[in-house]
Structure 1
Amino acid sequence: MKLCHSNNFRSGLKIIFENEPYLIESSEFVKPGKGQAFVRVKLRKLLTRQLIEKTFKSTDTLEIADVLEHTASYLYNDKNFWYFFKKNTFEEICIEKSIVGIHKKWLLEQDTCVVIFWNDQPISVIPNKFVNIKVIDTSVALKGSTVNASTKLAILSTSAVIKVPLFIKIGSLIKVDTRSGEYVSRIKE
């Protein structure tokens, strides 16, 4: 069990707080004119991706989390479980639908992603930052309705629904930012 003092907190460090793993997104050491120094920290809960802010005394210590990240390829799903294999060991990983969560709409077969493990159990799946996905359906822009609206809704091959520019047609291949779920560009085939 490794401990870390709060005045050594840095971005990217993974710690155990309230018996759960957290990722430190930012930390600021504050030494006021009066009183004890403290550290203001933004923490991302690795299990739910929730962001919280917390203040620690400069004398506080927390345990460093035993969190590992593995590169894996997405294979397939059976609606309840999602199957991946680790690139380095070729070991198959079975992950519950609830752990994959909202990221399922950005997973394409044979795509690589990062699977995060805590205590040898998968806790999160992070897809690539950008994915190329085919548009399977899109709403038709009516003449005259383009004055105020410059986007329309499109359904992608992974069943995700996003806003796209009016020139995107059914069958187009587009690049999507998985962090925000926004259209980035059209891919020429």
Structure 2
Amino acid sequence: HHELPLHMDGARFANALVALETTPAEMTWKGGVDILSFGGTKNGCWCAEAIVLFDLDRARELAFLRKRAAQLFSKSRFVAAQFEAYFKDDLWLDTARHANAMAARLAALIEDSRSARLAWLPQANEVFAVLKKAEAERVQVAGAAFYDWHKPHDFEGHIGEDEALYRFVTSFATTAEEVDRFGELIAG
């Protein structure tokens, strides 16, 4: 009722789209989204992001506003050119499907292990798991790369003193062999 535009952070737009099995229109403007920051970087592009405005009147002002806000850098069309290949033959959807599939594979291995457990079921290409701190350190020393994650306030009591929450992110480049190797590490 304040007539503020609704912005959607689309950094993982393709991953969400394929996970939800919906259309871009259903996920954006049909759902009330006015502005989408469409991300390609987390799905295979090199620093390529796009602003998508669904209101033609606002879109007409964009070129001026982008320049005035110092968001237009020289030769940006060369970065933007990646989108042509990214969208061709649904590459953007295929890379997102692959990343999501690798996350599902990783989640299954974590569920099957005795040394880790899922914090939540993954919905796209991120997996959150609880591991004993010593186990996490051991597998990181062995070559696994993942991140400590801040424990949400409503997660109190779900994590022991000797445990922590960790974030795993799969991508277009993650291989089944890498995921399986991690599974071997946490299996014992």
TM bucket (normalised to shorter chain) is under 0.3
- TM-score normalised according to structure 1 size: 0.27
Choose between structure 1 and 2 for higher RCO, CA contacts under 8 A separated by at least 6 residues: 2
Higher strand share: 1
Higher helix share: 2
